[in-house]
Structure 1
Amino acid sequence: MASVHLEMTEKQYKKLIEAVYLGTWMVNSTKMDLDEDFEEMRELVLSNYNQAGLDDLVVHQKEMDIHDLDVDFESKLLDTYVEEYDEFSFWDKLVEKLADKEMVKQFGAPKGEMTEEMMEKRIQFEEQIGQKLEESGITELDFTEK
């Protein structure tokens, strides 16, 4: 198996740590059993922290022989990237699901590929729903029977 060696600055290595941590967090945050390939990659990247002089960001847990992010650094990453992502994806998914609901009302349950008319209507629903949510947030949503 070929071996890859990368040369990078301390700044680049720090970004690599952030990317690997966030990627591993996303993959494993919803699982009962961790994806060991991601965990192995995370450990490989984090284990080189002292070469880059990042002793303040990575901690070696000797009893388990694993490396982890400093709690404050980890919290900062989650606050900076995950919170923003969750907020964006919530609204995006909400618009998508509400548009699905409107499509079923108008065209019935999906049966195969969408026609051009259906695609145009879908886009129209998403734009209308997105605009309404932007203007009023979720306060105007009503799911009661009329």
Structure 2
Amino acid sequence: MKKINLEMSQDQYEKLVETVFLGTWMVNSTQLELDESFEGVRNLVLSKFKEAELEDKVTYEEAFDVHDLAVDFENQLLQKYVEDYDEFSFWDKLVEKLSEKELVKEFGSLPDTLSEEMIAKRVEYEEEIGKELEERGITNLELKSK
């Protein structure tokens, strides 16, 4: 197997640690079992923490041979990136799903590939719904039981 070596500054290494943590978190956060290929890369990257003088941000559990982020640093990254991402994704996905619901009402069951008319209508619905949600939040949303 070919080996790849990287040279980077301490700041670049710290960004790599953050990137690897966030990527691994994204992959594994919804899984029952960890994706070991991602975990292996994460552990490899974090294993250089002493060289980068990041003892305050990375820990090593010798009993399990696992490197991990310090709890405070992990929480800081989750707050800084994941909470904003979740908030944005929620609204984006909500607009998408509500627009799709309107399309189904208008056109019936949707094909895998939308026609130009359907795409134009979807964009129209997304703009309309997005504007409404931006102005009023979820106060006008209703759940109707049948």
CA distance in 1, matches of 2:23, 2:131: 31
Superposed CA RMSD? 1.2
* Identity in percent: 57
Work out whether 1:19 is the aligned partner of 2:19. Answer: yes
- Runs of 4+ aligned residues of structure 1 deviating over 4 Å after TM superposition are none
Work out whether 1:35 is the aligned partner of 2:60. Answer: no
Deviations 1:32-89 (A, max 9, x none): 1110000000000000000111111101112212111010000000000000000000
Alignment of 1:112-127 (within 5 A): 112-127=112-127
Work out whether 1:89 is the aligned partner of 2:89. Answer: yes
Q: Structure 1-normalised TM-score? A: 0.97
The residue that corresponds to 1:65 in the other structure is 65
Q: Structure 2-normalised TM-score? A: 0.97
CA distance in 2, matches of 1:145, 1:31: 32
Question: Tell me, which stretches of 5 or more residues in structure 2 are unaligned?
Answer: none
Equivalent residue letter for 1:125: Y
Q: By how many angstroms is 1:113 displaced?
A: 2.1
